[in-house]
Amino acid sequence: MRISLAVLLLLSTVAAPADAQPAPTPTAATSEVRAAVDTFLRAFEALDWPAFRACFAEGATVFHPTPPHVLRTDSPESFERAWAAVFERIRRNSGRTAPPYFTLAPKNVRIQLLSERSALVTFHLPQGDTTGRRTVILEKLEAGWKIVHVHASNLSTPATPVPADPASPGKDEHRER
């Protein structure tokens, strides 16, 4: 039995392609995903279109949180048009003449690795009497982790805060599958 187990282990190591890369550890992948999301947020705060656009995969889709963009942006033209309007509105209303034009401070960040190549990130963006909820889906492509979908919604925050879910701590949370 020991000999057959040793042969099996030997064959499994020999059968692996010579150029195979070791799979990233969940912790490393989680850090990469978080870095990709942070890059997206910083580019958005700076309204840096080239850096912002580079965070997204080709064909990315978005559900924006407010009118006039109430339908999913699912073509390159609608993506560009919607974000150009958002950038212009923020730049115009910020009162600032240089970046950052606003500040995004995500709370309760949760990263779920769905596979070696896909991740789901959710977080809240509290701002005054509104709580923004964001869901970002990323795919690991040749160029790194890229956003394939953003779903954004804003809710009026109740006067009495809703108690925190005991299963979801108030700090950042990372889960691997």
Is the sign of the CA dihedral 143, 145, 150, 156 positive or negative?
Answer: negative
* Distances 109 to 4, 36, 48, 163 between C-alpha atoms, Å: 47, 13, 23, 17
Domains and CATH numbers, the chain: 24-159+172-176 (3.10.450.50)
What's this model's pTM, rounded to 2 decimal places? 0.76
User: How far apart (Å, rounded) are the C-alpha atoms in residues 58 and 75?
Assistant: 9
Closest CA to 37 of 175, 143, 134: 134
Both tokens of 110, joined, read 């949760």
pLDDT at 66: 86
Strand partners, 134: 123, 152
User: How far apart (Å, rounded) are the C-alpha atoms in residues 35 and 43?
Assistant: 12
Order of strands across the sheet that contains 144-156: 56-63, 144-156, 130-141, 118-127, 107-113, 173-176
Query: What's the N-to-C CA distance of the chain in angstroms?
Result: 33
pLDDT at 1: 47
User: How far apart (Å, rounded) are the C-alpha atoms in residues 25 and 155?
Assistant: 36
Alpha helices of 54-113 — where are they, by DSSP H?
A: 76-94
User: How far apart (Å, rounded) are the C-alpha atoms in residues 62 and 79?
Assistant: 8
pLDDT at 147: 98
Residue with the two structure tokens 């953003």: 150
pLDDT at 4: 42
How far is C-alpha 146 from the chain's CA centre? 8
pLDDT at 26: 64
Q: pLDDT per position in the chain (177 positions), as tens? A: 444 433 333 333 334 444 555 555 668 999 999 999 999 999 999 999 999 999 999 999 999 998 888 889 989 999 999 999 999 999 999 999 999 999 999 999 999 999 999 999 999 999 889 999 999 999 999 999 999 999 999 999 765 554 555 554 445 555 555
